[in-house]
Structure 1
Amino acid sequence: MTLALLIEQLLNGVQLGVMLFLAAAGLTLVFGVMGLINLAHGSLYMTGAFVCAWVAGSTGSFWLGLVAGAAAAAAAGALVEALVLRRLYDRDHLDQVLATFALILVFSEGARWIFGPQPLWLDVPAALQGAVSLPGGAAYPTYRLAIIGAGVAAAVLLWLLIARTRMGMRIRAGESDREMIGALGVNISVLYTAVFALGAGLAGFAGAMVGALQSVQVGMGEPVLILAFVVIVIGGIGSIKGALVGALLVGVVDTLGRVFLPMGFAAFLPPSEASGVGAAVASLLIYLLMAGVLVWRPKGLFPADG
């Protein structure tokens, strides 16, 4: 293992982590403020990727596609909240799970009908092509560094929104006592729609950014949804700080495990077996991490209720 390889994989882990944060932040906000389990959150991530790829392909502008993807996901989230989810806030979690699972099927078939069954491809913008030299002589793609920067910027802006604005004050109050802020004159329906649209927009932005690194296809949001749930359990449900820390932990552990565990097993196993065993163990690492955190801190690292 060389220093260049270690730095490269650490950056890959951070890049995965900040994208998971964008997906998990909306999910933890929705659950913390509304008490809603939303299995369709990954579909909003997919929506952002599809709209970005389609708009970029039609106009030739990645940046226009990026804005359109985030906006479309936010609009879809607001529409779903107003038409479907608003009726589920007072229902038990099983009803929420069943309804949002049905929404996954609706979004998947809708994407297949609108954009076609074939994957779409999104090119990296010309300004972000190329690579940056790392210590040790390796080159790291500029676009991945841009993703890290965009994710960090989004995290800072989200923190400022939650901590320093009137809307953020209402969101924090909604996490603590929804009935009280309603009694004080805050329009709960508008607040819920705004929170859901914000979370959906963040997920759509993440999907649009990642769309240039992989194919944009139906079902791409489900693996991200699973990882986002792991993130918010590790970080603490309802906690933005916890979502950020949890996402970075999951991203780095998952990335380093998939790269270095097969190399480690190769020291005492045949190469073919080492690759299979290492990949299998690596796929378990984030769940072992989650289990270890829950044994130590059952409410997560930074629970919203302290």
Structure 2
Amino acid sequence: MDFYSFLIQSLNALQYGLLLFLVASGLTLVFGIMGIINLAHGSFYMIGAYLAFALTSLTGNFFVAILLGIPLALAFGAALEALLFAHLYKRDHLEQVLLTYGLILIFEEVRSLLLGDDVHGIPVPEIFAASIPLNDTLSYPVYRLVISAVCIVLAVGLYWLIQRTRLGMMIRAGSHDRDMVQSLGIDINRIYRTVFALGVALAALAGMLAAPISSVFPGMGSQVLIISFVIVVIGGIGSVWGALIAALIIGFADTFGKVLLPDFAGLIVYLVMAVVLLWRPEGILKKG
């Protein structure tokens, strides 16, 4: 592998890892802070991709589709938490698994009824459709760099939200002792609703950003869900920064595994998880 091929694969791994972080960060927040095992989280990624497709078809503009899709995802997440997930906090994990698995089936059926089972494509926005030449034969798409840049900005924003704001302080306090926070007069239910809506919006945004480069197809959420749970476990349940580190590790392991060891590419991610858990059973970082 020459330098330029290595550079391209490294940039692909970075972009893939950062995109996975958007999905996994919401999953680890919901799992670590609210104690909910949400098997339907991958469906939010799928919903985001289909939202991007439907809204782009209606408006003719991918950026408008994203601007409309984000508040829709936030509202959908808040409504879902209020109607269903708010009743699961004191239930056992089996009931959480059954409900969220049922949601996967419902979302897939609704998607099939509304938009069919065909594979759809979204054109890359014209402003980002160019490629940066690396040598005489190789170039790198600008849109992939844009995805990486957006994900980095969102990661910094998430850090600022959780570590530097009053809302973040309440989220962190609520993750450690729900009853104590409630006794201080803070509406913990509203905090949980905010966290859940944020998690849904992050996963949906990841689906929207990925749609022009990965296409939009049935069942796409299931693939992302499995890898996101791997990231949450490796990073440490409830740790957003652990999820970022784990997502980058998985992004590089998966990308270079497919290039260097294609026959074992499906195993490499899980081998990485096994090695990390043997080293640190609680994950790379603890909740926080």
TM-score range with shorter-chain normalisation? over 0.9
Q: How does 1:118-267 map to 2 (within 5 A)?
A: 118-134=118-134, 138-261=138-261
Equivalent of 1:290 in 246, 249, 273: 273
Between the two proteins, what is the percent identity of the paired residues? 47
2:186 aligned counterpart, secondary structure: coil
CA–CA separation in structure 2 for the residues paired with 1:131 and 1:284: 32
> Per-residue deviation at 1:215?
2.0
**Kept in 2: contact 1:51–1:72 (CA 8 A):** no
> Per-residue deviation at 1:186?
0.9
The amino acid of 1:138's aligned partner reads L
Deviation string for 1:30-55 (max 9, x for gaps)? Answer: 11111000011111111111111111
> Per-residue deviation at 1:134?
3.1
Deviation string for 1:113-145 (max 9, x for gaps)? Answer: 122222222111011001113378621000001
The amino acid of 1:303's aligned partner reads K
**Kept in 2: contact 1:132–1:139 (CA 8 A):** yes
CA–CA separation in structure 2 for the residues paired with 1:218 and 1:70: 21
**Kept in 2: contact 1:25–1:240 (CA 8 A):** yes
Greater mean alpha carbon deviation, residues 284-293 or residues 132-141 = 132-141
CA–CA separation in structure 2 for the residues paired with 1:300 and 1:57: 42
Partner of 2:27: 27
Aligned in 2, Cα 1:3/1:80: closer, same or farther, shift over 3 Å?
same
Partner of 1:69: 69
Aligned in 2, Cα 1:211/1:185: closer, same or farther, shift over 3 Å?
same
**Kept in 2: contact 1:49–1:69 (CA 8 A):** no
CA–CA separation in structure 1 for the residues paired with 2:268 and 2:18: 19
The amino acid of 2:55's aligned partner reads V
The amino acid of 1:192's aligned partner reads Y
CA–CA separation in structure 2 for the residues paired with 1:112 and 1:163: 40
Equivalent of 1:299 in 279, 282, 285: 282
The amino acid of 2:46's aligned partner reads M
The amino acid of 1:62's aligned partner reads F
CA–CA separation in structure 2 for the residues paired with 1:167 and 1:175: 12
Partner of 1:275: none
CA–CA separation in structure 2 for the residues paired with 1:253 and 1:69: 31
1:212 aligned counterpart, secondary structure: helix
2:90 aligned counterpart, secondary structure: coil
1:140 aligned counterpart, secondary structure: strand
Aligned in 2, Cα 1:252/1:136: closer, same or farther, shift over 3 Å?
farther
CA–CA separation in structure 1 for the residues paired with 2:118 and 2:136: 40
**Kept in 2: contact 1:74–1:204 (CA 8 A):** no
Partner of 1:98: 98
Question: TM-score w.r.t. structure 2 length?
Answer: 0.97
The amino acid of 2:265's aligned partner reads A
Q: How many residues align?
A: 288
Listed as ranges, the gaps of 5+ residues in structure 1 are 262-277
RMSD over aligned Cα atoms: 1.3
CA–CA separation in structure 2 for the residues paired with 1:118 and 1:71: 26
Q: How does 1:270-281 map to 2 (within 5 A)?
A: 278-279=262-263, 281=264
The amino acid of 2:281's aligned partner reads P
Partner of 1:60: 60
CA–CA separation in structure 1 for the residues paired with 2:229 and 2:117: 28
The amino acid of 2:75's aligned partner reads A
Question: TM-score w.r.t. structure 1 length?
Answer: 0.91
CA–CA separation in structure 1 for the residues paired with 2:283 and 2:243: 10
Greater mean alpha carbon deviation, residues 235-244 or residues 63-72 = 63-72
**Kept in 2: contact 1:231–1:250 (CA 8 A):** yes
CA–CA separation in structure 2 for the residues paired with 1:54 and 1:170: 36
Partner of 2:78: 78
The amino acid of 1:282's aligned partner reads A
1:298 aligned counterpart, secondary structure: coil
- Does residue 110 of structure 2 align to residue 110 of structure 1? yes
